[in-house]
A and B are shown apart, each in its own frame.
Chain A
Amino acid sequence: NAGVTQTPKFQVLKTGQSMTLQCAQDMNHNSMYWYRQDPGMGLRLIYYSASEGTTDKGEVPNGYNVSRLNKREFSLRLESAAPSQTSVYFCASSESGWETQYFGPGTRLLVL
């Protein structure tokens, strides 16, 4: 089992560019999550999907959109990147809502 995989591992964008962060899990989990991690801020929830076909906003959703493509995949899209979105992004999944979460290795995003 690969667990939770994320692509890309690292990305540099210019202000205003768009990109999609991909996440997939092979544990047949129902719930999936996107977080950002910034120094001194801990992890903050951007969006989550309690089950296939549903998505909900987290603490910091502005500037992001998500798609739960199927049970395995949950993508995060930045339509017009801003320097404030420079961060490390983590995807996670859990069997059901708010149980033990399994994290991917992260995507480091730098917006210039």
Chain B
Amino acid sequence: GDSVTQMEGPVTLSEEAFLTINCTYTATGYPSLFWYVQYPGEGLQLLLKATKADDKGSNKGFEATYRKETTSFHLEKGSVQVSDSAVYFCAPSYSGGGADGLTFGKGTHLIIQP
């Protein structure tokens, strides 16, 4: 079944706006949490990750905090740029979970307008 829920899109913002993309996951065990980004015509690449509760992952101005109490890993950026336009995937990863070990959210298409 679904183990991760993220807001779908498209999400359209103006340059320099504040960004939040919500992600919640099923609280089965203690997964590592990932955000991947996919630029047009490319494969996914790791944006940031957090491996335990209260950890904050950060990269390229993006941040996300592992919130065990709310089973969330929301992605934020204070001032987005046109170059941030991409699809963002939230992915909890349960070590030893077999085929269910890694589930990707359906992706959030972000469009940043100049």
* B-binding residues in A (CB < 8 A): 4, 35, 40-43, 45, 48, 56-59, 90, 92, 97-106
Contact = CB atoms under 8 A, between A and B. Distances in A.
Interface string B79-114: 000000000010001111111011011110000000
A67 B99 CA distance: 17
B99 A100 contact: no
Given A98-B93, A98-B97, 10 more contacts: A4-B43, A42-B104, A42-B106, A90-B44, A97-B95, A99-B93, A100-B49, A101-B46, A105-B43, A106-B42
B43 A100 contact: no
A29 to B, nearest CB: 14
Given A42-B89, A43-B89, A101 B107 contact: no
Contacts of A101: 36, 44, 46, 102
Given A42-B89, A56-B98, A98-B101, A103 B44 contact: yes
Contacts of B107: 42-43
A48 B94 contact: no
A57 B89 CA distance: 22
B106 A41 contact: yes
A40 B49 CA distance: 24
B34 interface: yes
A110 to B, nearest CB: 16
